């Protein structure tokens, strides 16, 4: 399970909730905060990196490759209008993770894989609170991509416990969750429930 942080100005709350997700079994954290200013974003990213390091879990920075480089994060996630995967690989230290949003476009995923992406993300698979205007992605596209792509595939967008198993069964190696995790009454339990879905598929 890949946990994606929500927009939050409350750094202590963000850290507390992320720690619960880590204890529950999250295997990767992506710091994504579209509303923060540069000062807050840097502060939160540094503290999250310190927290993730304690659990030996990678912290990926969404979009801001300059921030990822500055704090020496474990990687960066780029979108269609951001730095290319190829350039991100050149700018980051060797061994860092570079993931790419591919929306509903298999060709984008193939190009990202060609450029060395460590994973490609497809979504939104379901209506998403975080990205309500995201282009929908069908399970048939995921099935098609699984036949073509060898790098790790991430499913994202509107994923909940009620539909996550379907995403895993369709061929995704990873599920990325934001709202259904961070808004849960018991984040540790919710993370553990997602983790258990993968154990059932071994």
Cα dihedral sign for 65, 123, 158, 161?
negative
Question: pLDDT category, 150, cuts 50, 70, 90?
Answer: very high
- pLDDT (0 to 100) of residue 141: 94
Residues in Cβ contact with 50 at an 8 Å cutoff, skipping those fewer than 6 apart? none
Which neighbouring-strand residues pair with 154?
121, 174
Q: Which helix (H) or strand (E) holds 136?
A: none
Question: pLDDT category, 201, cuts 50, 70, 90?
Answer: low
Give SS3 for 107. Answer: helix
Residues in Cβ contact with 126 at an 8 Å cutoff, skipping those fewer than 6 apart? 136, 157, 158, 159, 160, 163
Q: Does domain 2-200 have CATH number 3.20.20.70?
A: yes
- pLDDT (0 to 100) of residue 164: 96
Question: pLDDT category, 45, cuts 50, 70, 90?
Answer: very high
- pLDDT (0 to 100) of residue 15: 98
124 sits in the region (left: phi over 0; alpha: psi -120 to 50; else beta) called beta
Phi/psi of residue 56, nearest 5 degrees: 55, 45
Check if the beta carbon of residue 83 is closer than 8 Å to that of residue 65: yes
Segment 131-142, tens digit of pLDDT = 777 788 999 999
- Can you give the residue ranges of every domain in the chain? 2-200
Q: Which helix (H) or strand (E) holds 57?
A: none
CA distance 33 to 136: 22
Residues in Cβ contact with 105 at an 8 Å cutoff, skipping those fewer than 6 apart? none
């Amino acid at each position: 399970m890949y946990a994606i942080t929500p927009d939050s100005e409350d750094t202590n709350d963000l850290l507390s909730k992320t720690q619960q997700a880590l204890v529950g079994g999250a295997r990767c954290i992506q710091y994504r905060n579209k509303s923060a200013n540069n000062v807050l974003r840097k502060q939160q990213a540094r503290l999250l990196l310190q927290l993730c390091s304690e659990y030996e879990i990678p912290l990926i920075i969404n979009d801001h490759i300059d921030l990822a480089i500055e704090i020496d994060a474990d990687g960066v996630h780029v979108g269609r209008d951001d730095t290319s995967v190829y350039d991100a690989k050149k700018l980051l230290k060797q061994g860092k993770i570079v993931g790419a949003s591919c929306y509903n476009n298999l060709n984008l995923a193939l190009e990202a894989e060609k450029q060395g992406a460590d994973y490609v993300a497809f979504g939104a698979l379901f209506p998403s609170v975080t990205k309500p205007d995201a282009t929908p992605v069908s399970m048939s596209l995921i099935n098609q991509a699984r036949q073509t792509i060898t790098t790790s595939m991430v499913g994202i967008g509107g994923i909940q416990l009620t539909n996550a198993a379907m995403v895993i069964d369709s061929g995704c190696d990873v599920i990325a969750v934001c709202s259904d995790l961070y808004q849960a009454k018991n984040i540790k339990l919710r993370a553990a429930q997602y983790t258990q879905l993968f154990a059932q598929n071994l």
